[in-house]
Structure 1
Amino acid sequence: GDKHETTLSMMHLEQEKLNQKLKEFLEAKAIFESIDFEKNNTKVSLGSLVLANDVYFLISVSLPKVELEEKTIFAISPQAPLAQKLIGRDLGDSIEVNQLNYTINDLE
């Protein structure tokens, strides 16, 4: 009896965790799909692809890094400290995050 109830309880907890992760994924997917990646920005904003110090950052939702055409792209959420410093900046601007200096070399 007790082993069965404990197993059921653990399965229920695991199911709740998975449901929460699914909810978070679906919310992130909805945000990502709502971003207009075609607009041309003169300043860094949501949907911008930023080249800073030879590293590409996509301001969107937090995702695993992507390898594309021999380039690594890090998708970061607007709430990330680096994104918060980048948003609103122009091409050529420099920022500092965690004692690292970043210069915006390209902006798409």
Structure 2
Amino acid sequence: MEELKSKVVSEIKNVLDERLKMAQQTYNDALESRNNDTKSSAGDKYETSRAMMQQEMDNAQRSIHQIKMMRNELFRLPIQESNLKATAGALITTNSGKYFLGLSMGKVLVGEHVVFAISTGSPLGKLLLNKKEGDRFVLNNMEQEILSIE
């Protein structure tokens, strides 16, 4: 099962890398568009166009920063440790799903496995934190049992 955990981490890294690449491309495209925009006789149109490109660049920079922070957070998780309790970096299997605790990424597909990457601050993350195999918890009026933690 440890292999699944490393595959989940690898897939999360791949998704973040792809998002980073796309955000950097968006930034570069907006920069190029802004720099190539020639001043027309309609000055307001030129200024509006440049302002829109700048806004797109700013949004892309925020995305780049956020993605880099998520990558750093992923690399700081104690993934190699085997876990007796559900902590950040753990892969938790319940009777109704698999959860990677530590980073909010949503659904991650690894082969035929669907794993939900959730943060420790999310409602489910808070419920799972420090639980052990065999522990039960209730989420949305549905009782779940922790079958394994790796």
TM-score by length of 1: 0.91
Question: In the alignment, what sits opposite 1:60?
Answer: 102
Alpha-carbon distance in structure 1 between the residues aligned to 2:136 and 2:125 = 13
Matched, 1:97 2:97: no
The whole-number CA distance in structure 2 between the counterparts of 1:13 and 1:96 is 44
Q: Cα RMSD over matched residues?
A: 1.3
Residue number in structure 2 paired with 1:21: 63
| Counterparts of 2:56 and 2:143, CA distance in 1 | 42
- Runs (4+) off by over 6 Å: none
* Local SS of the residue matching 2:130: coil
Please give the secondary structure, in 1, of the residue aligned with 2:99.
Answer: strand
Provide the C-alpha distance between the structure 1 equivalents of 2:107 and 2:70, rounded to a whole number of angstroms.
15
Instruction: Determine what percentage of the aligned residue pairs are the same residue.
Output: 27
Match of 2:93 among 51, 55, 68: 51
Query: Matched residues in 2 for 1:6 and 1:69: separation?
Result: 47
Higher helix share: 2
Task: Give the one of 62, 73, 84 matched to 1:31.
Answer: 73
CA distance in 2, matches of 1:100, 1:47: 24
Larger Cα-atom Rg: 2
Name the structure 1 match of 2:26.
none
Asked if the contact 2:101/2:125 (under 8 Å) is kept, the reply is: yes
For the residue of structure 2 that corresponds to 1:65, the secondary structure is strand
Amino acid at match of 2:78: D
Distance 1:15 1:88, change over 3 A: same
Structure 2 unaligned spans of 5+: 1-42
- Normalising by structure 2, report the TM-score: 0.67
Query: Structure 1: which 5+ residue stretches go unaligned?
Result: none
Count how many residue pairs are aligned between Structure 1 and Structure 2: 108
What is the CA-CA distance between 1:87 and the residue it aligns to? 0.4
